[in-house]
Amino acid sequence: MGKRTTGQLAAPASWHWIGERGLQVATGAATLARYEHLLKKKLPDIEDIIPTDNSILLILRRAAPVSPGVSAALSEPLEKEIDGARGTLHDFVVDYGGRAGPDLPALAKRARMSVAEYIDCHSAAEYSVAFLGFQPGFPYLRGLPTALHAPRRASPRQRVASGSVAIGEAYTGIYPDDGPGGWHIIGRTTAVLFDPLREAPALLMPGDRVRFVPA
């Protein structure tokens, strides 16, 4: 068994290796602030920086121990706290239920609500983009009312239509592309979440705010 502490320098930030090029750093509530701090540093040994809800993955260009520059950038105090919901507000018109949202009746039942109550509850909340992942441009939206949390489907669907609005655990999200998916589908929007030919390919960015408007 490999020693997981191997090669790690003592530093205030806590991290784990994922392969020899992936450095996973626990960043908690300061994830976005630390992400922006790292971006500004433009560190030459970092190939990519991937923020999620509570951690950041740094992908190093080469399999090497953590450089002093990276170590410093991970432990330096942050200039300011970044509010996770201060970005652009986007409204998405959603066709809830029916063929666009086949899992809506079951989810409403699970939440002990009528379908109409479920739609009201989902569309009354304001969400913030925690991070993008799973597919290009797929937003993990924070702020789902607790009553609507639901574990992922036992077996994923082979094909989920692009624009599908979905529920997975504590998040709601929107599938940018057609493809397999394990979240519950409650509706669909016509918005194009990812277009590689746009100047900004991903419509939503971490920190952006989102509201759903029933069609």
Q: How far is CA 43 from the centre of its chain?
A: 24
Q: Which burial class, exposed, middle or buried, applies to 60 when counting CB atoms under 10 A from its CB (0-12, 13-18, 19+)?
A: buried
Identify the helix (H) or strand (E) that includes residue 103.
none
Secondary structure (3-state) at 137: coil
Site for other proteins in 41-80 (CB under 8 A): 47-57, 59, 62-65
Closest CA to 127 of 108, 146, 100, 145: 145
Size of the site for other proteins (CB under 8 A): 50
Out of 66, 100, 111, 135, the only residue in the binding site for other proteins (CB under 8 A) is: 135
Site membership for other proteins, residue 132 (CB under 8 A)? yes
Q: How far is the CB of 138 from other proteins (least distance, A)?
A: 5
Q: How far is the CB of 105 from other proteins (least distance, A)?
A: 25
Closest CA to 60 of 10, 7, 32, 18: 18
Out of 84, 101, 137, 187, the only residue in the binding site for other proteins (CB under 8 A) is: 137
Closest CA to 205 of 92, 84, 43: 84
Smaller CB separation from other proteins, 77 or 155 = 155
Q: How far is the CB of 212 from other proteins (least distance, A)?
A: 20
Using the rule CB under 8 A, give the single segment among 11-19, 80-88, 103-111, 118-126 that binds other proteins.
Answer: 11-19
DSSP structural state of residue 7: T
Closest CA to 150 of 115, 103, 92: 103
Q: How far is the CB of 49 from other proteins (least distance, A)?
A: 6
Smaller CB separation from other proteins, 133 or 214 = 133
Site for other proteins in 143-172 (CB under 8 A): 169
- Structure tokens given for 105: 């009746």
Cβ 140 vs Cβ 173: under 8 Å: yes
Site membership for other proteins, residue 28 (CB under 8 A)? no
Query: Residue numbers of the site for other proteins (CB under 8 A)?
Result: 1-4, 6-7, 16-22, 24, 35, 47-57, 59, 62-65, 131-138, 140, 169, 176-177, 179, 194, 196-197, 201-202, 206
